[in-house]
Amino acid sequence: MNPDTTRPTDEIVDVLIIGSGASGAAVAWSLADTKMRILCLEQGDWIKPTDFPSNGRDWEARRYSDFDISPNRRKRDTDYPVNDDNSPMKVANFNGVGGGTILYTAHYPRMHPSDFKVKTLDGIADDWPITYWDLEPYFTENDRMMGVSGLAGDPAYPPHQPNMPPIPLGKTGTRHARAMNKLGWHWWPSDISVASTDYEGRAKCINLGHCTPGCAQGAKASTDITYWPLAIRAGVELRTRCRVREITTNEQGMASGVIYYDANGEERFQPAEMVILAANGIGTPRLLLNSASARFPNGLANSSGLVGKNLMLHPWPQVFGYVDEEVDGDRAPMTVMWSKEFYETDPARGFLRGYTLQFSRGTGPANEAITSMAAGRLPWGKDHHKTYRNLLYRRMQIGIACEDLPEEHNRVTLDPVLKDSHGIPAAKIDYTISENTRRMMEHAIARASEILTTAGAKNLFASRTALNSPGHLLGTARMGTDPARSVVNEWGRSHDVKNLFIVDGSVWVTSGGVNPTSTIQAIALYIADQIKQRLANLFD
């Protein structure tokens, strides 16, 4: 039902998906085989590979302008601002077909089985209503769709078989690996969603450059080149530059469609039988809170009061140092190996849960100059060039994915003042790093420093503040079986609105200590399957 007959109304669809990123693409592709009429509304554009910065010599400069990881600095007209002033971690995302996968580093670990039962194992936070084993077939299916390079047999994980051989360790990785062998600590070549061989029509990685601002070669699996072409061929419609303002409901309290702004800025109504949110851990609570009505005064699907709460961002210290020979610099995929030595809880360490160590290559020439000047490593004057030569391409890095736990005061709300270019209230985040996480970060920084020193690195530097936020936006519409303690049920359906589903990182109960996209997509495929299995009596 059009809530306002003055607004143009589109033809009704069976399924309306909001957001075309990691999870939106996966759910669209999976549901396509039902032959339902499926539409995805995406506020951003298709990004042409020829526009990626890695095609040009100014690629580093463009990481601080139109391909910046922060929407507040990038400021494309397709972005929406996020007030992150009250958070030590700044938001990173991308708004366009492919969502965050356009800019992601493609480090592709799965969650561990223990991550789904934190309450049982450690007496904190909550258990998930699903297990690793519920998701296992969907991890495999998603790996096949995205294309994952790696090495089977990692003792830190249940067995699984990556689709392609691992990305070579390179000079940097080999040095890291030798140091880990000396220390006797676990390491393994990472699962990465970058093709190490030609894969399903995609060319293999040729070490063009740094992957984060987009891979022009098509080796990095962003969903615009993996799921979307197949979903569209199967009949899904993807409408870009369409920004959803709110989800509407009918007299029965069911979702009836959305009000959105089309590519010409015209406000329209799109009716739908079922709405699926895939707008990420900030975009989804923002939309639900912006969909408040007389019947749902605290926002849609929010009878628990938990929409927007329990935001988890993965605090991400980085430690780096310099060795006395050139290593890989910015060439080749950034992160090629991980260590799970400190992943599972050991109370003797003084904190609960744990972290992944991610071993990374270095950085580009401009970034080396800027960050080294800022840190006082690179002086002006007669030693400038000599010092720079001793830094350039000699950096070795370890990034640390720290598990942060759900805390209700870490949250997404609507900013009372800030709005996007369509006048829609923007999201505001309030976030603090907990004492448990701080202790974990210090432990991890000490271990990473030990590894780098063993690898022969000097001039060590650790960043604690996460200005380099990893873009992991989790937990703000958590899943659970108890409607008082969760927003969606164990198969992604809103407890309050029976034809409303959430498939993005919002539904996470705890965050694990891994990059989330592999698990986000496995969950989206799992929820799609739950929908398919229940189609006959979905809304009972």
Ligand X SMILES: Cc1cc2nc3c(=O)[nH]c(=O)nc-3n(C[C@H](O)[C@H](O)[C@H](O)COP(=O)(O)OP(=O)(O)OC[C@H]3O[C@@H](n4cnc5c(N)ncnc54)[C@H](O)[C@@H]3O)c2cc1C
* Binding residues for ligand SF4 restricted to 34-73, rule: CB under 6 A: 54
Please pick, from the candidates 50, 206, 381, 540, the single residue that binds ligand SF4 as defined by CB under 6 A.
Answer: 206
Which of ligand SF4, ligand X, none binds 364 (CB below 5-8 Å, type-dependent)? none
DSSP 445-472: HHHHHHHHHHTT-EEEEEE-S-TT----
CA distance 150 to 109: 10
* Binding residues for ligand X restricted to 286-325, rule: CB under 6 A: 287
Which of ligand SF4, ligand X, none binds 172 (CB below 5-8 Å, type-dependent)? none
Token pair for residue 500?
A: 């409303």
Q: Considering only the stretches 85-93, 216-224, 261-269, 532-540, report the one whose residues sit in contact with ligand SF4 under the rule CB under 6 A.
A: 216-224
SS3 83: strand
Which of ligand SF4, ligand X, none binds 512 (CB below 5-8 Å, type-dependent)? none
> Does 207 contact ligand SF4 by CB under 6 A?
yes
Q: How far is the CB of 184 from ligand X (least distance, A)?
A: 27
> Does 472 contact ligand X by CB under 6 A?
yes
Q: How far is the CB of 131 from ligand SF4 (least distance, A)?
A: 32
> Does 190 contact ligand X by CB under 6 A?
no
H or E, element range at 23: helix 22-31
Tell me the C-alpha to C-alpha distance, in Å, between residue 129 and each of 121, 134, 499: 15, 10, 20
CA distance 197 to 70: 32
Token pair for residue 93?
A: 């995302």
Which is nearer to ligand X, 351 or 359 (by Cβ)?
A: 359
Provide the pairing of β-strand 188-189 with 237-239.
Answer: unpaired
Per the rule left: phi > 0, alpha: psi between -120 and 50, beta: everything else, 106 is: left
Which of ligand SF4, ligand X, none binds 54 (CB below 5-8 Å, type-dependent)? ligand SF4
How many Cα atoms within 13 Å fall on the side-chain side of residue 162? 26
For ligand X, the nearest residue by Cβ is 21
Please pick, from the candidates 12, 121, 208, 234, the single residue that binds ligand SF4 as defined by CB under 6 A.
Answer: 208
Please pick, from the candidates 30, 83, 87, 95, the single residue that binds ligand X as defined by CB under 6 A.
Answer: 95
Tell me the C-alpha to C-alpha distance, in Å, between residue 222 and each of 25, 194, 521: 10, 9, 12
CA distance 291 to 185: 50
Cα torsion 121, 124, 130, 132: sign = negative
Token pair for residue 286?
A: 């923002």
DSSP symbol at 325: S
CA distance 474 to 490: 16
Beta-carbon count within 10 A of 388 CB: 17
Q: How far is the CB of 205 from ligand SF4 (least distance, A)?
A: 3
Residues in contact with ligand SF4, shown as a per-residue x/- string from 165 to 204 under the rule CB under 6 A: -----------------------------x----------
> Does 471 contact ligand X by CB under 6 A?
yes
Cα torsion 418, 422, 425, 427: sign = negative
Scan for tokens 């950034």, then name that residue: 334
Give the residue ranges of DSSP H helices in 475-534. 517-533
Which of ligand X, ligand SF4, none binds 194 (CB below 5-8 Å, type-dependent)? ligand SF4
Which is nearer to ligand SF4, 54 or 510 (by Cβ)?
A: 54
- Using CB under 6 A as the binding criterion, the count of chain residues that bind ligand SF4 stands at 14
Which of ligand X, ligand SF4, none binds 278 (CB below 5-8 Å, type-dependent)? ligand X
Q: How far is the CB of 182 from ligand X (least distance, A)?
A: 27
Contact residues for ligand X (CB under 6 A)?
18-24, 41-44, 69, 92-96, 99-101, 103-108, 212, 243-244, 278-280, 283, 287, 470-472, 504-505, 515-517, 520
Contact residues for ligand SF4 (CB under 6 A)?
54, 194, 205-209, 211, 215, 217, 219-220, 332-333
